[in-house]
Structure 1
Amino acid sequence: MQLIKRFTKGSLLLTAAVLVSGCSIFGDDDEEPKFAVLQPISEQVQAKVLWDASVGSGIGEHFSRLNPVVEYGKVFAADRNGIVSAFDKSTGERLWRIDLRQRITFDEATDEGWFSGLFASPFPARISGGLVARYDRVFLGTENGDVVALDAETGDVVWHTEVNNEVMSDPAVGEGRVVVHTGGGKVISLDAETGEEQWEYEYQTPMLTVRGASAPAIISGGIVVGDSNGSGMVLIADSGQQAWSQPIGKPSGSTELERLADVDAKPATQGTTLYMVAFNGELVALELMSGEVRWKRDYKAFENMLVTSGRIFLTDVNSHVYSLDQSGGIERWSNTELFGRKLSAPAWHRGNIVVGDFEGYLHWLDSETGNIVGRYDVGGDGVYVAPVVDNNIMYVQTRDGDIIALDTQSGNE
């Protein structure tokens, strides 16, 4: 469920929830189905589980993009409450486990959800941004407004900085800095070594926005970010000054809900071309240095895109899956068989595209045709974030905190 948030005099109030399928949440039995019932497939890909483990209680029903990350021979994963663990990526053996609630005092006064944490002891960390591994550290952000760096070998807290704004997407880490994009319209650069703030850029947010914020990207001395007004921009990494801005979303309609145009997907690049997509706008290819539009196509999405092998793969707001050429945005195929199943962003696995759904199924789609060629049920109350692939091994995190390593018994490299 994709949540909507409203800003009133700087305060965040949860006001509505919509099904990304676009169907009404009210109605009778005569309405069209809200999600696809899975049909039999001609299975060409068979999944096999290599190991599975658990990290805390997962994220529950909360909106989150909290994802595992594979680096340094380890799989790092976290739950919403504050448990962070490292596992051996080959065997699943737990190497360390920490509870951030025992290392950091989280400010309960910053919680703005209805009754969130009222009976929790200690107050939950509400991890929602990350995980990202670099510089022998693991970086994460929280809805409480914290950015934390952990030692990748031990799990010890290296530094902790309060940014006083929700961090609900992956920090960008590189060029000696950690950059976060907050739900309140701030882009903040921190020193990767110390956590000290370097600069802050702020933009005006609309009254009603899609829950979440696009993850920033650090590219060649610039910070690329999509904002909640429907624009893409590049900031100069050393100063935070804006280099250029370009409309991506198109606010239209008579109501605030109809005018949602957030750019929530992480920007993707290939060479000097930047790709961005809006919740209620277009998929746009831009010249990275100038922001000049190279081409645009009518696709609406908030999940991250996969850009690889000359193609762009995306899941749109209706859980339709598409493949397009990078060079001109020409559509190669579309698959609507999984509509309304709240698909994750796509991942690349042995020549196929993999998406997860709200019931806990993984679906393998042939990258050339879009046909569904494999399916596996990992359960766990659903797959909400794209699988992570490392050396052809796929790592999946479920809503209830399961971490599963899988491979397939057939498929192309």
Structure 2
Amino acid sequence: MTLTRAKLVNLTPSASRFVKLAAACAVVAVLAACGSSKPSPASLESLSAPALRLTTAWSQRVGSVDGQLNLAVSNGVVTTASTDGDIVSFDIATGKERWRAQAHADLSAVVGSDGRYAAVVTQANELLAFDQGKLLWRERLPGRVITAPLVAGERVFVQAVDRSVRAYDVLDGRWLWQYQRPGGEPLALATSGVITAFRDTLLVGQGARLVGLDPLKGSVRFDVNVGTPRGTNEVERLADLVGPLARVDDEACVRAFQLSVACMELNRGSLRWTRPQAGRQAVAANERMVVGSDGADRLSAWKAENGDLLWRVDRFTYRNLSAPAIWGNRVVVGDYDGYLHVLASEDGRTLARTELDSALVAAPVVVDQTLLVVTRKGTLYALRAN
């Protein structure tokens, strides 16, 4: 049985109806009992002569991250943040600081930015918007937020853990609209969900469905069912989409928690293919392939055109892999020990490995030839391959 670690959030007041997960036993997939022995992580393979050399173009320390983080990249700028409220924007080419802000509060959702405007949510459920480091406004939200806000088109879009989506004017904080798909599940996955833009459409995850919204009105343009979860209780049927969504031109691929990996055609709002895989991390994709790991950290690659399996490797089982990224003709993924593994995209063999100061807390991001990764200790690395 594949085990997947996750945290859950109750969306109804009758908490006694649902399974409660203690911090020492937050394990679901098809439920496993607390106290069962934990599998041993796979030992690292010997790599005496790496086929690739990684160099650090620059690195910057922002502050530690307790939870999840989104690296916001736009117009040659990357914006990151720490849990205790530091928000910093850097030039991707040089690592030079562009601007810095302080929220003066611990953060629960970080960080969304279009390069100029940035938005975060505090643990007290306040949405804060900044213009190049200057605080513009703050607004109290009706519920908890874990997913980083999306800043686009002079609007801020926020998705709460109850899957409701709210839109605000980035200039003055004026509330514009709210959307929530009726008939949602009573439990939600306490992890970063899907909220992103495709041309003039806002894409949001609603359980196991990807919904396309009009960003001006909040009305539905399309609704794609990624899969139908089966189970005897609410936990087993939980299948929220896990962010970030992997965009490739007019197509996108996504993970449905403990259910499947799927790719969609966004212009028509239709499902192209889906493959069963019980996992908890987002997938990566380009025009040739899709990559993702299951709950036991077996890494698989599929053909982007039809979902046929290209390769699967089990060298990293139970090493608590991060979301992967595709970096040219390479696949990169981090593990719980702070190692970053670089694999060949054609067959999954290991090309290089480097040790960072701690584990990754955000999906790696590729900009041109530069790989951006951020660790739990709050170090942002810009890496290049030689």
Is the TM-score greater than 0.5?
yes
Does the C-alpha gap of structure 1 residues 286 and 351 become closer, same or farther in structure 2, counting only changes over 3 Å? closer
**Partner AA of 2:81 in structure 1:** A
Match of 2:50 in 1: 43
User: In the TM superposition, what is the alpha-carbon distance from 1:186 to its structure 2 partner?
Assistant: 0.6
**Partner AA of 1:26 in structure 2:** G
User: In the TM superposition, what is the alpha-carbon distance from 1:88 to its structure 2 partner?
Assistant: 4.7
2:124 to 144, 151, 154: 144
SS at match of 1:383: coil
Q: How does 1:50-65 map onto structure 2 within 5 Å?
A: 50-56=57-63, 58-60=64-66, 62=67, 64=68
Match of 2:300 in 1: 322
User: In the TM superposition, what is the alpha-carbon distance from 1:78 to its structure 2 partner?
Assistant: 0.8
Residue 281 (structure 2) pairs with residue 303 (structure 1) = yes
Match of 1:115 in 2: none
Match of 1:121 in 2: none
Q: How does 1:163-242 map onto structure 2 within 5 Å?
A: 163-203=141-181, 204-228=183-207, 230-242=208-220
> For residues 388 and 24 of structure 1, what CA distance do their matches in structure 2 show?
36
Match of 1:117 in 2: none
> For residues 52 and 21 of structure 1, what CA distance do their matches in structure 2 show?
37
> For residues 287 and 379 of structure 1, what CA distance do their matches in structure 2 show?
39
Does the C-alpha gap of structure 1 residues 390 and 231 become closer, same or farther in structure 2, counting only changes over 3 Å? closer
Superposed CA deviations along residues 129-169 of structure 1, whole A, max 9, x for unmatched, are 324334x22233344333332223xx111233332222322
Superposed CA deviations along residues 246-281 of structure 1, whole A, max 9, x for unmatched, are 332433222333222112233344444443331122
Aligned-pair identity (%): 25
Q: How does 1:82-101 map onto structure 2 within 5 Å?
A: 82-94=85-97, 96-101=99-104
User: In the TM superposition, what is the alpha-carbon distance from 1:362 to its structure 2 partner?
Assistant: 0.4
User: In the TM superposition, what is the alpha-carbon distance from 1:316 to its structure 2 partner?
Assistant: 3.0
> For residues 218 and 210 of structure 1, what CA distance do their matches in structure 2 show?
22
Residue 385 (structure 2) pairs with residue 408 (structure 1) = yes
**Partner AA of 1:366 in structure 2:** A
SS at match of 1:59: coil
User: In the TM superposition, what is the alpha-carbon distance from 1:217 to its structure 2 partner?
Assistant: 2.1
User: In the TM superposition, what is the alpha-carbon distance from 1:373 to its structure 2 partner?
Assistant: 1.1
Q: Is the 8 A contact 1:265 1:278 kept in 2?
A: no
User: In the TM superposition, what is the alpha-carbon distance from 1:357 to its structure 2 partner?
Assistant: 1.3
User: In the TM superposition, what is the alpha-carbon distance from 1:90 to its structure 2 partner?
Assistant: 4.8
Q: Is the 8 A contact 2:205 2:211 kept in 1?
A: yes
Does the C-alpha gap of structure 1 residues 333 and 20 become closer, same or farther in structure 2, counting only changes over 3 Å? farther
Superposed CA deviations along residues 217-262 of structure 1, whole A, max 9, x for unmatched, are 222332222223x222222223212233333243322233322211
Residue 368 (structure 2) pairs with residue 391 (structure 1) = yes
Match of 2:261 in 1: 283
Residue 84 (structure 2) pairs with residue 81 (structure 1) = yes
> For residues 178 and 162 of structure 1, what CA distance do their matches in structure 2 show?
14
Residue 13 (structure 2) pairs with residue 5 (structure 1) = no
Does the C-alpha gap of structure 1 residues 325 and 344 become closer, same or farther in structure 2, counting only changes over 3 Å? same
Q: Is the 8 A contact 1:324 1:330 kept in 2?
A: yes
SS at match of 2:114: strand
Does the C-alpha gap of structure 1 residues 243 and 72 become closer, same or farther in structure 2, counting only changes over 3 Å? closer
Match of 1:26 in 2: 35
SS at match of 1:265: strand
> For residues 193 and 233 of structure 2, what CA distance do their matches in structure 1 show?
23
SS at match of 2:210: strand
- Larger deviation: 334-343 or 352-361? 334-343
**Partner AA of 1:170 in structure 2:** A
Does the C-alpha gap of structure 1 residues 275 and 407 become closer, same or farther in structure 2, counting only changes over 3 Å? closer
Residue segments in structure 2 that go unaligned for 5+ positions in a row: none
- Larger deviation: 265-274 or 318-327? 265-274
Q: Is the 8 A contact 2:371 2:382 kept in 1?
A: yes
> For residues 186 and 33 of structure 2, what CA distance do their matches in structure 1 show?
22
Superposed CA deviations along residues 330-383 of structure 1, whole A, max 9, x for unmatched, are 111122211222212122334211111111110101111111111111022x11
Superposed CA deviations along residues 19-61 of structure 1, whole A, max 9, x for unmatched, are 5798765235xx7x342221213521222223333212x123x
Query: How many matched pairs?
Result: 375
Does the C-alpha gap of structure 1 residues 71 and 280 become closer, same or farther in structure 2, counting only changes over 3 Å? closer
> For residues 339 and 366 of structure 1, what CA distance do their matches in structure 2 show?
18
Q: Is the 8 A contact 2:161 2:189 kept in 1?
A: no
SS at match of 1:188: strand
Q: Is the 8 A contact 1:225 1:266 kept in 2?
A: no
Q: Is the 8 A contact 2:168 2:176 kept in 1?
A: yes
> For residues 146 and 171 of structure 1, what CA distance do their matches in structure 2 show?
12
Q: Is the 8 A contact 2:274 2:307 kept in 1?
A: yes
**Partner AA of 2:382 in structure 1:** A
SS at match of 1:27: coil
Q: Is the 8 A contact 1:249 1:263 kept in 2?
A: no
